[in-house]
């Protein structure tokens, strides 16, 4: 008798993070295959892959960035009646928008930095106006709706800011004061925070190169923090997860200024899933190896699939 379902891992995609996603998908599929019948599909267009069966497939997506993480794929899966792991379409769309994520988290009592958002082309603010609005000359410029530090700029001073603004590519942009502190990342599994990981890029900036070039960044898992600070960061991650309507799993990133002062940067709903990625590191702090982690990530979707099956037969 054939198994009642199979896990279909989606990888690749159409965003600038395609190569990263292929690595996440391969690692996840290898681990999931130890638990359930599993196949890996390379997504090459912004559409549902052919051959998905709502009566058999449970989707585990490792698509990063545009279409994968912004609710686009999730909306198509919902419309097709296909069960999938991870955040739903509304939560995915919200958390892809960094400014909207910060507003939701702030309303739940999580500290966030001031920001300004604008469109390019459109009402591009001048350097003076941004400095006045945000209270400092040292700002961070980053796309408001992209992942993996794509397009990150750290201009220091008025002249550098004016040059950086003039060089921005079309899209939605976010400006924030540059916070100098320790970068932390926390996985959240079914609403409960895992371990706190500290990220120390050797360059001092956790940009695309620091993330993906071997040896460019040191990671400490668990982060060497006082217990009180670690607990506070974990609680903030859980609050932000709930405030943004997340389900199943996500990863929250913070900047720690002092033991009692830290700021949410963003929530990542489809974080990197190679064995060396931040979410698996966070899980290892909590005693979960990679296979146990993927079982925990997909488990709620398996339950949703089984509950639907029971309701259809009752």
Residues labelled as active-site residues:
17, 148, 212, 251, 253, 266, 268, 272
What does the block give as tokens for 146?
């992209």
End-to-end CA distance of the chain: 22
DSSP lists the bridge partners of residue 174 as 117, 142
- Spell out where 135-191 has E strands: 139-143, 171-177, 182-189
What does the block give as tokens for 278?
């931040």
Q: Looking at residue 267, what DSSP letter applies?
A: E
Q: Which of 50, 84, 51, 79 is nearest to 68 (CA)?
A: 84
> Cα 91 from chain centroid?
12
What does the block give as tokens for 83?
């069960």
H/E run at residue 132: helix 127-134
Contact 5, 60 (CB under 8 A): no
H/E run at residue 311: helix 290-313
Contact 133, 262 (CB under 8 A): no
Q: In 3-state terms, what secondary structure has residue 35? A: coil
d(CA 81, CA 98): 29
CA 44, 189, 302, 288 torsion: positive or negative? Answer: positive
C-alpha torsion 46→304→36→291, nearest 10: 90
d(CA 217, CA 205): 9
């Amino acid at each position: 008798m054939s198994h009642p379902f199979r896990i279909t891992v989606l990888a690749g995609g159409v965003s600038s993070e395609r190569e990263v996603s292929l690595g996440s998908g391969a690692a996840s599929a290898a681990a999931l295959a130890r638990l359930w019948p599993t196949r890996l599909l390379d997504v090459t267009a912004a559409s549902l892959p052919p051959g998905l069966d709502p009566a058999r497939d449970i989707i585990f997506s490792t698509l990063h960035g545009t279409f994968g993480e912004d609710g686009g794929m999730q909306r198509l899966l919902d419309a097709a009646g296909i069960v999938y792991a991870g955040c739903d379409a509304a939560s995915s769309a919200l958390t892809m928008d960094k400014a909207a994520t910060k507003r939701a988290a702030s309303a739940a009592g999580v500290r966030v930095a001031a920001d300004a958002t604008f469109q390019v082309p459109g009402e591009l603010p001048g350097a003076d106006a941004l400095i006045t609005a945000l209270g400092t000359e040292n700002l961070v410029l980053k796309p408001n709706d992209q992942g993996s530090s794509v397009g990150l700029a750290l201009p220091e001073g008025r002249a550098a800011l004016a040059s950086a603004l003039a060089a921005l590519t079309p899209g939605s942009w976010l400006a924030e004061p540059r916070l100098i502190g320790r970068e932390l990342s926390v996985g959240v599994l079914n609403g409960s925070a895992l371990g706190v990981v500290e990220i120390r890029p050797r360059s001092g900036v956790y940009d695309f190169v620091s993330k993906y070039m071997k040896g460019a960044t040191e990671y400490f898992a668990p982060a060497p923090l006082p217990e009180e600070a670690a607990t506070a960061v974990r609680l903030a991650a859980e609050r932000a997860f709930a405030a943004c309507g997340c389900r199943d799993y996500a990863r929250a990133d913070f900047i720690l200024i002092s033991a009692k002062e830290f700021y949410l940067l963003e929530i990542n709903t489809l974080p990197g899933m190679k064995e060396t990625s931040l979410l698996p590191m966070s899980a290892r702090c909590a005693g979960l190896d990679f296979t146990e982690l993927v079982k925990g990530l997909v488990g709620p979707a398996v339950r949703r699939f089984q509950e639907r099956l029971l309701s259809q037969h009752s």
